[in-house]
């Protein structure tokens, strides 16, 4: 038996994998890597090998690993007050709610523990909004991803997450992405809300078009629907603005006035400390009154103190500009690689530090295997010392920390080019 004193670093990787084999529900397809520590944009495996981390826990560790300011905030708050129930008030939750409202727009916030739970809150908000006139249906995009709870998989526009869990929670339908007319056609007398990601992440790094966003806003106003944004993956400064729709609309006339009615957040919010939240626009901010929605761990002083520190560091260290500048340069470098090796990379998508490249079909080195090209590429990048995240069968995602340095960006591009060249 392993004592509570032991850690993965003390145990060799085969022992760790055996523990998982015997005791952890096998719901994840895991890569063959066991990590024991991290610092900045790097993580080390139990054998001491360094990896440059361009996945950041799937857009979670926005300040990299073991950031001293976050460690201090965590330790400092842990010495004062870790948790009290939401039956009482605590200062960090109130201050974090105000900070998020200042970044998004007039409204209020609810705190929870994950992205799926943040979306669940938005679903309940929509149902409450439509309850009196019997409207409950939420339209989402094909290829979207909204979490793994029962309502989350019902909302997600991908069959693979639903398979085996039918019947689905009622009241969700999926509509072609980036097509306002298709959305208009899909609205029924029961429809109450539209939920979309600013940039589809799991779906392969596909941004919404500016005209689509403005069109949806108009459509929702006309039909009295709530427009809800899932910014769980693409939000929190990753694109070079707080939320992705702000970046997507910044050069579009009228774009600066765009506001949705609700936004879900999680991932980078706590910089690695698990938390989620949703923001709801002012006219609807009091719809979920006392007794209608709750979660034990939502907005603890510990989580909120860390999230406040994330915001402070991002803003005081110019990381929004860093995400934009380095992200744009990374995209240009990826596009240059795609031009040199068109038989390996088909397209490059995304903005800021949320980038994806789609692999060309029929890469000869990936023939005759049942693994997807995305997985095979990611494995080769791991062997080269770079962590990136697959999305679907043909896309590799780069979601590095917002404080990535220029030297680390160059190193990552060098590793990608080396692997792509080998495949060409
Ligand atoms: C857009 C989006 N929404 C929701 C979720 C679910 O978040 P969580 O895994 O924290 O429940 C994810 C997770 O990847 C996501 O990318």
pTM summary value:
0.96
Q: Which two tokens stand for residue 337?
A: 């690689």
Q: What is the pLDDT of residue 10?
A: 47
Token pair, residue 419, equals 């692997």
Ligand 1: which of 118, 146, 197 to mutate, most ligand atoms within 8 Å of CB?
Answer: 146
119 CA closest ligand 1 atom index: 4
Q: Do the beta carbons of residue 45 and residue 13 sit within 8 Å?
A: yes
Half-sphere exposure of 10 (CA within 13 A, CB side): 6
Q: What is the residue with the minimal CA distance to atom 16 of ligand 1?
A: 233
Q: What is the pLDDT at residue 1?
A: 38
Please identify every stretch of the chain with a pLDDT value under 50, giving residue numbers as ranges. 1-6, 8, 10
Mean pLDDT of the chain: 96
| Gap from CA of 248 to ligand 1 centroid (Å) | 20
Q: Give the dihedral sign, CA 347/353/196/158.
A: positive
Atom of ligand 1 nearest to the CA of 149: 11
> What pLDDT sits at residue 368?
86
Delimit the domains of the chain by residue range.
8-60+319-423, 69-316
> Which DSSP state fits 47?
T
Could you report the per-residue pLDDT of 144-162, keeping only the tens digit for each? 999 999 999 999 999 999 9
pLDDT of residue 11: 58
Instruction: Please state, in angstroms and rounded to a whole number, the distance separating the CA atoms of residues 64 and 99.
Output: 22
**Does the CB atom of residue 178 touch ligand 1 within 6 A?**
no
Q: Which of 113, 116, 197, 297 to mutate to test the pocket of ligand 1 (most atoms within 8 A of CB)?
A: 116
Whether the Cβ atoms of residue 96 and residue 261 lie closer than 8 Å to each other: no
Return the half-sphere exposure (C-beta side, CA atoms, 13 A cut-off) of residue 132.
2
Asked if 381 contacts 413 with a C-beta cutoff of 8 angstroms, the reply is no
CA dihedral 144, 327, 50, 202 (to 10 degrees): 0
Dist CA 102 CA 184 (whole Å): 32
What the block records as the tokens of 336 is: 């240059």
pLDDT digits (tens, 9 = 90+) for 321-348: 999 999 999 999 999 999 999 999 999 9
Q: Is 268 in the pocket of ligand 1 (CB under 6 A)?
A: no
Q: In sequence order, what are the beta bridge partners of 107?
A: 281
Distance 116 CA to ligand 1 centre (A): 6
Q: Classify domain 8-60+319-423 by CATH architecture.
A: Alpha-Beta Complex (3.90)
Q: Does domain 69-316 have CATH number 3.40.640.10?
A: yes
The CB of 232 under 6 Å from ligand 1? The reply is: yes
């Amino acid at each position: 038996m392993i004592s509570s004193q032991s850690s993965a670093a003390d145990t060799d990787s085969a022992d760790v994998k055996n523990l998982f084999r015997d005791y952890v529900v096998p719901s994840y397809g895991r890569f063959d890597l066991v990590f024991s520590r991290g610092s900045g944009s790097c993580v080390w495996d139990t054998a001491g090998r360094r990896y440059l981390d361009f996945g950041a826990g799937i857009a979670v560790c926005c300040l990299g690993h073991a950031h001293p300011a976050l460690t201090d905030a965590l330790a400092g708050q842990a010495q004062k007050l870790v948790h009290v129930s939401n039956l009482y008030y605590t200062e960090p939750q109130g201050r974090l709610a105000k900070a998020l409202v200042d970044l998004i727009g007039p409204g209020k916030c609810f705190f929870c523990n994950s992205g799926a739970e943040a979306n669940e809150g938005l679903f309940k908000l929509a149902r409450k909004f439509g309850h009196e006139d019997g409207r409950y249906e939420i339209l989402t995009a094909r290829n979207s991803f909204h979490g793994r709870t029962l309502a989350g998989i019902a909302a997600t526009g991908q069959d693979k997450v639903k398979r085996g869990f039918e019947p689905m929670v009622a009241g969700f339908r999926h509509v072609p992405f980036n097509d306002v007319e298709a959305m208009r056609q899909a609205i029924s007398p029961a429809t109450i809300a539209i939920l979309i990601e600013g940039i589809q992440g799991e779906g392969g790094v596909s941004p919404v078009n500016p005209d689509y966003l403005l069109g949806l806003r108009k459509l929702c106003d006309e039909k009295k629907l709530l427009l809800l944004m899932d910014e769980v993956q693409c939000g929190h400064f990753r694109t070079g603005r707080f939320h992705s729709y702000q970046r997507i609309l910044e050069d579009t006339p009228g774009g600066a006035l765009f506001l949705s009615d609700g936004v879900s957040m999680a991932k980078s919010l706590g910089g690695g400390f698990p938390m989620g939240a949703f923001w709801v626009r002012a006219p609807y901010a009091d719809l979920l009154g006392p007794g209608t929605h709750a979660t034990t761990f939502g907005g603890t002083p510990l989580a909120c103190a860390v999230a406040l520190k994330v915001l402070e560091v991002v803003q005081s260290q110019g990381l929004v500009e860093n995400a934009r500048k380095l992200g744009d340069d990374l995209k240009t470098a990826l596009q240059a690689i795609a031009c040199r090796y068109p038989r390996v990379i088909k397209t490059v998508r995304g903005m800021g530090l949320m980038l994806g490249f789609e692999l060309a079909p029929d890469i000869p080195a990936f023939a005759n295997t049942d693994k997807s090209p995305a997985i095979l590429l990611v494995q080769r990048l791991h062997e080269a010392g770079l962590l990136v995240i697959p999305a679907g069968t043909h896309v590799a995602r780069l979601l590095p920390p917002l404080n990535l340095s220029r030297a680390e960006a160059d190193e990552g591009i060098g590793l990608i080019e080396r692997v792509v060249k080998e495949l060409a």
